[in-house]
Amino acid sequence: MRGAHRTPTVPTTRPSAVAWVDDRHAIVARALAGEDVAVSEVVVRMSGQHDPTYLARVVDEIGAQDRLVILGPSSTRLALEREYVTIYQRPERLVDVEAAGPMDRAAVADRLRAIRS
């Protein structure tokens, strides 16, 4: 149609995150506007002791996401999954929960980029 007005479409990215977690620290990559990624770390506050706030702080760092991938050793990974669902009451947002060996910040960010594409 000649003269038809088209509204430009702006690609939108669903809020997404990838978290790698073990019993000492977590690495969280969150999608920002455009292609930007924010990567942060959460560490256990009481070295060698049980830190009752650790997983809640990891969930706080993840935030309310539409899609979440949780990676890491079995027991801690599953505990984080339960904590996330307890806080946000949205188990359907967990895209994947799988075992993974140690990962660095770049690897976690790359995993987030992979689920965004």
9 confidence band (pLDDT: 50, 70, 90): very low
pLDDT of residue 61: 97
pLDDT of residue 113: 92
pTM: 0.85
pLDDT of residue 4: 53
10 confidence band (pLDDT: 50, 70, 90): very low
pLDDT of residue 7: 47
pLDDT of residue 51: 87
CATH code reported for the domain at 16-116? 3.30.420.60
Dihedral pair phi/psi, residue 43, rounded to 5°: -120, 155
Radius of gyration of the chain from Cα atoms?
17
Helix (H) or strand (E) holding 6: none
> Among 2-16, 22-36, 93-107, where is mean pLDDT lowest?
2-16
Q: What average pLDDT does the structure give for the chain?
A: 87
